[in-house]
Amino acid sequence: MNGASERDHGYARYKLDGCRCYRCGFAVSQYNAARERAIAYGTWAPYVDAETVRQHLRNLQACGAGLRSVAAASGVDRKRLQAILTGRPERRTGPQERVRPALATAVLAVEPTLEVLGAATVINAVGTHRRLQALVYAGWPQHHLAAALGWTDVNFSALLRRQQVTVRTARAVRDLYDQRWKSDPREHGVDAQAYSRARNHARRLNWQPVGAWDDDTIDEAGAEPYTGSETPVWLAAVEDALELEADGFTRQQAADRLGIQRSTLDTWMSRYRNRPAQAATEQEATA
Ligand SMILES: [Zn+2]
């Protein structure tokens, strides 16, 4: 498997390959908007349009998720999902037109996580790499990790160079990570020399420690590691607002999106524009 993904741009490519192109971003924002709408309707409408749910089921299928696992994750019977997708030919009914809001929100809440995806589905390797690298950073030798996964050392190094992995591999690495990240390798049969060799190796290659990630960011292709020098809240907000404005939002809409007062955003904007050139250069250098 080489680096290039064969998926069409859209929801699946955004979620599984980390593509952030316009089409992928648009597909995901459509999905997010539909989900929010379904949740909002759920508070008063008896039924919602089934099309949103149907589209999401197709998206999940494009990600390699079977109806069976979507049924398990959503708590909605598989036959009911099938009726939304294709109708019931034996009853000569077409795809269902409306669904209960509770069903819609349950299905729309299902994301293409490692639990839901088929084991053979190919996804981007970023979370797998980060987990293995963080374990080496913590002093687990690569040889030890390879053995724990049932791989040869050669397979292990090859995996670290590959852009994509199967869900099966990603799950195995995640489970290993969840078991090991809190433990001290020296208490689990790793000798002091191998321990410091692993740590030095990771530092030399600029790998990131466990603390650089949390559960929400570790699989996110575009996520930046947390390095302890956090961007101030006001600066992060200004950067987000500038991005929204570049996408055609007004200043007011940007403020609403970010959940801050328009006047506060205006103040932060002028602080941003008036900041000393020195600070601006520093900011860019660390960005
Ligand atoms: Zn794309």
pLDDT per residue over 209-261, tens digit each?
888 887 778 888 777 887 765 566 778 788 888 988 998 888 988 887 777 78
Phi, psi of 66 (to 5 degrees): -80, 155
Mean pLDDT over the full length of the chain: 86
What pLDDT, in 10s, does the model give residues 1-37?
A: 434 468 899 999 998 988 888 898 899 999 989 888 8
Residue 240 burial (C-beta neighbours within 10 Å; 0-12, 13-18, 19+):
middle
Q: How far is the CA of 18 from the centre of ligand 1 (A)?
A: 8
Q: How far is the CA of 58 from the centre of ligand 1 (A)?
A: 17
Q: How far is the CA of 15 from the centre of ligand 1 (A)?
A: 10
**In the block, which residue shows the tokens 């020399």?**
193
**DSSP reduced 3-state for 81:** helix
Q: How far is the CA of 102 from the centre of ligand 1 (A)?
A: 31
What pLDDT, in 10s, does the model give residues 83-112?
A: 999 988 788 888 889 999 999 999 999 999
CB atoms within 10 A of CB 276: 8
Residue 5 in contact with residue 17, Cβ under 8 Å? yes
What pLDDT, in 10s, does the model give residues 33-73?
A: 988 888 888 777 888 889 999 999 999 999 989 999 999 99
Q: How far is the CA of 186 from the centre of ligand 1 (A)?
A: 44
Q: How far is the CA of 22 from the centre of ligand 1 (A)?
A: 7
Residue 219 in contact with residue 125, Cβ under 8 Å? no
Counting DSSP H helices and E strands in the chain, the numbers are: 15, 4
CB atoms within 10 A of CB 5: 19
pLDDT of the residue at 276: 63
| Nearest Cα residue to 135 out of 227, 213, 220, 228 | 213
User: How far apart are the two ends of the chain, measured CA to CA in Å?
Assistant: 32
Q: How far is the CA of 12 from the centre of ligand 1 (A)?
A: 9
CATH of 233-286, one of 1.10.10, 1.10.3470, 3.30.70, 1.10.238: 1.10.10
Q: How far is the CA of 174 from the centre of ligand 1 (A)?
A: 26
Rounded to whole angstroms, how far apart are CA atoms 159 and 181?
20
Q: How far is the CA of 59 from the centre of ligand 1 (A)?
A: 14
User: Can you give the residue ranges of every domain in the chain?
Assistant: 11-108, 122-212, 233-286
